[in-house]
Amino acid sequence: MLKHKFFRKDLEKWISAPAEVWQWEATYEDGGVLKQFGDDGVFHQFAEIDQERLAMFKMVSPEYSQTYTLLFSDPAMKLIHFYRNKVLNAGTADEERIRYYCFGYEKRIGTKVHKTIMMITPTNDLVVTEEPALVTSSNDSSS
């Protein structure tokens, strides 16, 4: 499998980026696509996405056939993407690390900013929420 790398300007060297189960793809108005894990082996950072031209944001997986697509039908929508890491049964023999892949948008309506976040769970289900912090387990710690 292709090992993706990105250039750390501060260190002035190429760093390997570990593969993710769920990876983003940004599609622009002109049909151009920027992939988090580019076909050319370059890992792209979230900040590289040009949100002014963003029309579609997809979460795809090299392991699963599903695709989760968010349409940016309003230029006022601002893309959000982050990970929510959890450690289940921390400190025990059953300790397990899991990751929620979160993406969504925020949009200003009047004086208020409304936020909608989609969370892809470790079982590949989708949770839509305004409050990602609500999706927690009783015996975990998260970051």
Give dist(CA 134, CA 136) in Å, integer. 6
62 vs 75 by CB, closer to other proteins: 75
40 vs 74 by CB, closer to other proteins: 74
Candidate list 10, 74, 94, 131; residue touching other proteins; CB under 8 A: 74
Candidate list 22, 24, 43, 72; residue touching other proteins; CB under 8 A: 72
The percent of the chain in helix, strand and coil, each rounded to the nearest 5, is 5, 50, 45
| By the rule CB under 8 A, 55 interacts with other proteins | yes
User: 92-121: which residues touch other proteins (CB under 8 A)?
Assistant: none
| By the rule CB under 8 A, 73 interacts with other proteins | yes
22 vs 25 by CB, closer to other proteins: 25
| By the rule CB under 8 A, 76 interacts with other proteins | yes
Structure tokens at 76: 């006022």
Give dist(CA 43, CA 39) in Å, integer. 9
Candidate list 71, 90, 113, 126; residue touching other proteins; CB under 8 A: 71
Q: Specify the DSSP class assigned to residue 42.
A: B
3-41: burial string, b at 16+ Cβ within 10 Å, e else: ebeeeeeeeeeeeebeebebbbbbbbeeeeeebbbeeee
Residues that bind other proteins (CB under 8 A): 27, 29, 31, 55-56, 69, 71-76
